[in-house]
Amino acid sequence: MMNGVLFRRSARSLWKTWVVFAAVLSLYVSMITAMFDPKLNATLDEIVTAMPQLMNMVGMQAGSSSLGGFLINYLYGFLLLLLPLVFSILAANRLVARWVDTGSMAYLLASPNTRARVARTQALVLIAGGTLLTAYCTALAVGCAAAMFPGELDVPAYLVVNAGLLCLHLALGGFCFFASCLFNESRLSVALGAGVPVLFFLIRMLANMGGRLEKLKYATVFTLFDPTGLFRGDGAAYAGAAVLLALGLGFYALGTAVFSRRDLPL
């Protein structure tokens, strides 16, 4: 199914990038968790109310009185969507398209490895990297909440939110992987793999501003991720997460199939 040696080599090539993103997210997650204060929340709500369109654009809304709602409001509308997406874009391109672009794929395929096996291995590396990044942020937030505000966070509900976040990034990472498998040149891989998800993200920001732009939410996959609904246990939010998971698995499978059958400049 996969090549263990290639998996370890590819994982080692990404670990520095992973650590950088984990460090940046550590700063934001710990800092925002520490900012929780029911008295301070009133001040933050006043800021949101004063600039509603701008705050809504980055996913921030007034009225989050619980710690779980506070974290969802200030982490899951922007930071935990965008930063892991950038990691997936960089990692997906490095795992497939760059190998083809530099000619290294020819040496790899000269060994007793089929294209499908190579693609599956690289897909698993990307999935593992994204999963570990999400799990790390989840554990960090839960740990910070337990240390700073014991008993304030509804941990089971918060874990459900992060399971949904993982489904979202599996879908986005799967598309980035598909783009990397589709092209021989890194620039084209990044153009598609980054261009479409970033466009979806920008559409989401515009839709959050409300008014006539609100209908744009139906034109982006980010709408399928509803952290507030997941935290409350809404069935529609669960369905959206399931669709994201299916999209992710589908894109990974499609990327593997495309890479196995297309012409490569070997």
Q: So what's the pLDDT on residue 53?
A: 55
Q: So what's the pLDDT on residue 103?
A: 79
Number of Cβ within a 10 Å radius of residue 226: 21
CB 172 within 8 A of CB 85: yes
pLDDT confidence tier of residue 266, bands split at 50, 70 and 90: low
Q: Give this prediction's pTM.
A: 0.91
Counted residue by residue, the chain has a size of 266
pLDDT confidence tier of residue 37, bands split at 50, 70 and 90: confident
CB 145 within 8 A of CB 161: no
CB 7 within 8 A of CB 121: yes
Q: Which two tokens stand for residue 172?
A: 């986005």
Mean pLDDT of 31-43: 77
Is the pLDDT assigned to residue 62 strictly greater than 90?
Answer: no
Give the residue among 179, 147, 172 at the shortest CA–CA distance from 245. 172
Q: Can you tell me the distance from the alpha carbon of 122 to that of 119, in angstroms, rounded to the nearest whole number? A: 5
Q: So what's the pLDDT on residue 111?
A: 78
CB 121 within 8 A of CB 152: no
pLDDT confidence tier of residue 110, bands split at 50, 70 and 90: confident
Is the pLDDT assigned to residue 74 strictly greater than 60?
Answer: yes
Is the pLDDT assigned to residue 47 strictly greater than 60?
Answer: no
What does DSSP assign to residue 217?
G
